[in-house]
Amino acid sequence: MLLLFSLIFLNVLIFLYCVDYIRLIVQVDWLNKFILDMWPYLDKAICGTIRSMAQPIFAEYVGKFQIESIDFENLSLGTLPPVLQGLKIYETNERELVMEPAIKWAGNPNIVVVLTMLSLRITVQLADLQIFAAPRITLKPLVPTFPCFANIVASLMEKPHIDFGMRVLGGDIMSIPGLYRFVQETIKKQVASLYLWPKSLEIPVLDASAVAVKKPVGILHVKVVRALKLLKMDLLGSSDPYVKLSLSGERLPAKKTTIKKRNLNPEWNENFKLIVKDPQSQFLNITVYDWDKVGGHDRLGMQVVPLKQLTPHETQEFTLDLLKSTNISDPQNKKQRGRIVLELKYDPFREDSDGSSGPLDGYERKESGIDRGSGNESHSGAGLLLVTVQGAEDVEGERHNNPYALLLFRGEKKKSKMIRRTRDPLWNEEFQFMLEEPPVSEKIRIEVISKRTGIGFRSKESLGNVEINLADVVHNGRINQKYHLIDSKNGMIHVELRWKTI
C-alpha cells in the first residue's frame, strides 16, 4: 500500500508538469502563479486520473489477505500546489523541446483510503507529504498540429525525495523504529527502476495517425519484362506501347519505360526502383499506354499488385491480364487487352537506430550530432540517401529576403519552397536520392538563395552555401547538424541526412 501511494503521486507529479507546455522563455515566477491559479482545476483532473489508475490496482488485492474492499473515502491534493524552484531549457537539433525543472511540493493533501477486512473497517490516511524531484521533460516530436507536440517523455535525473506520514487507526505508523527508513529506501528503489533516466514515462498527447509522417522502409525492384497481345490502336493495325509505374499514396513522377514502335508483343527488360513507405497497404500501379505524336496517349490497359503479396528479398514473376479499369464490375474488363509480365522484389531497409532524439550528454547535446551505429555493417550496395532541410538562421540578403534551399548532387538539382520576407526560414522538406553505391567519397552542396517576387534585375541572390561530406552518414547511418553557411556573415542551415541500405 505504501508503494502504491508513492507511485501514484510520482505519476501525478510528472503529469502535472508535463501538461504545462507553455513557451519556456517565461519566468519561473509567472509559471508558479499560473499553477497556483490553475490548481483547483488541476486538483480535480488529477484526482480523477488517480482514481482510474488505482481501481485496477485495488481490485488485485480484493479477495486476498482477507481484504473485502478498498476504496477512497477522501481524495484531494489540497490547496498548496507544487512550486518550481528553477528551470533549465536545452536546445537540440531534434524536433523537440527539453526542460529540467526543479520541483518542490510540500502539500496538504486529504487522501483517505478505507480497507474492509473481516468486516472490520480500517482507515489509512496520507499526511505531511513532501516531494523533491528533478525530472527531465521532453516534448517531441514538434508538429504543426495543436498543441504542437505529439508526446511527452519524462524521466527522473536523480532519485526523488518523498517524505510522508501514514496514519492508521489514529496513529502514525511511520514512527515505528526502522520502518521509516525501510519505506524510504523501498520507494526510491522502486521509483528509480521505473523512471530514472534513461528510462522514461511516455504520455501520448496526439493520435499517432494524426501526426505520423511515413518514412521510407524499403525499395521495390521492378523489372518490366514484356507484354503480350496488346490492343491495336493505330490505323496501321499496331501500337507504340510504353509502361508507367507508380506506387499508391505517392505524388512522385511515375517511372516510364522506353517506347516500342509498332509492336503488340514488346520486350523491354528494363529495371526500376521505387521507394516503399507502407508495404502492407501500398500497391504498384501498372499502366500501359499507346504513344501518339499528337494529342493524348491512349491507355491500353492497367493492373495493380498489392505489395503485401511479396515475400521480402524474393524475386517473384507476375503475368497479369490487363484491364480497362480497377473496377471489377466494369463490363469492359471482359474484353481481352493483352497481358504484361513483371518481376518484382521487395527489399526492406536494414533496421537502424536513427530515432528522432539522441541522449543529452550531461547538459549538452553531443556536438557531433551523429547517431553511432554498431560499426559492423557493410557499406556496399544500393541505398537511399534522405536529405531533410529543416531550416536556416540569420540568412540576410542585400536586396530581398525570400529564401529557398537548392540541393545539388551528382548533377541533379532539387529545391525547397520559397518563404517570403524572413531571415529564419523553416522548410522541413525531405529530398530523396536513390543510389546504386554508397557515396563514401562524395559531397552534397546546399545553397540558400533569395528570389525577388516582383519583376526586376538581379532577381536572385545567394545567401550562403555549404558542402557536406557524405562519408559520415554512410558509416553512421544518420547525421543531424547545423552548419555555418559559407559567404554568409552569421547564417546557419539545419540539415538531417540519413543513409538507408537494403
2-18 vs 179-195: helix axis angle to the nearest 10? 40
CA proximity to 348, closest of 310, 313, 305, 309: 313
Residue with cell 483517505: 112
**Do residues 185 and 2 touch, judged by C-beta distance below 8 A?**
no
Cβ atoms of 458 and 436 within 8 Å: the answer is: no
Extract the C-alpha cell encoding 15.
Answer: 503529469
- Write the CB contacts of 451 (distance below 8 Å, at least 6 apart in sequence): 400, 402, 404, 418, 459, 460, 461
Contacts of 375 (CB under 8 A, 6+ apart): 475
Q: Tens-digit pLDDT profile for the chain (502 aa)?
A: 444 555 454 454 444 444 444 444 456 788 888 889 999 988 898 888 888 888 888 888 888 777 888 888 888 989 999 998 888 888 788 888 999 989 998 888 888 888 888 778 888 888 778 888 889 999 988 887 777 888 889 898 888 888 877 777 666 666 667 766 777 677 767 766 777 888 888 888 887 666 666 789 999 999 999 999 999 877 677 899 999 999 998 888 899 999 999 999 999 999 999 999 999 999 999 999 999 877 788 899 999 999 999 999 999 999 999 998 877 767 777 788 899 999 999 999 987 544 443 445 443 443 333 344 444 444 567 899 999 999 999 999 888 899 999 999 999 999 999 999 999 999 999 999 999 899 999 999 999 999 988 766 678 999 999 999 999 999 999 999 999 999 999 999 999 999 999 8
333: left (phi over 0), alpha (psi -120 to 50) or beta: alpha
How far from each other are the two terminal CA atoms of the chain, in whole angstroms?
Answer: 52
Nine-digit cell at 182? 525501510
pTM beyond cutoff 0.85: no
> Could you tell me what percent of the chain has a pLDDT over 70?
83
Instruction: State pLDDT tens for residues 80-123.
Output: 999 988 888 887 888 889 999 899 988 888 888 888 887 788 88
Residue 224 sits at the vertex; the CA angle it makes with 219 and 227, to the nearest 5 degrees, is: 155
Residues 6 or more apart whose CB falls under 8 angstroms from that of 113 comprise: 1, 70, 71, 72, 73, 123, 124, 125
Structural domains of the chain ordered from first start:
2-211 (no CATH), 218-348 (2.60.40.150), 362-501 (2.60.40.150)
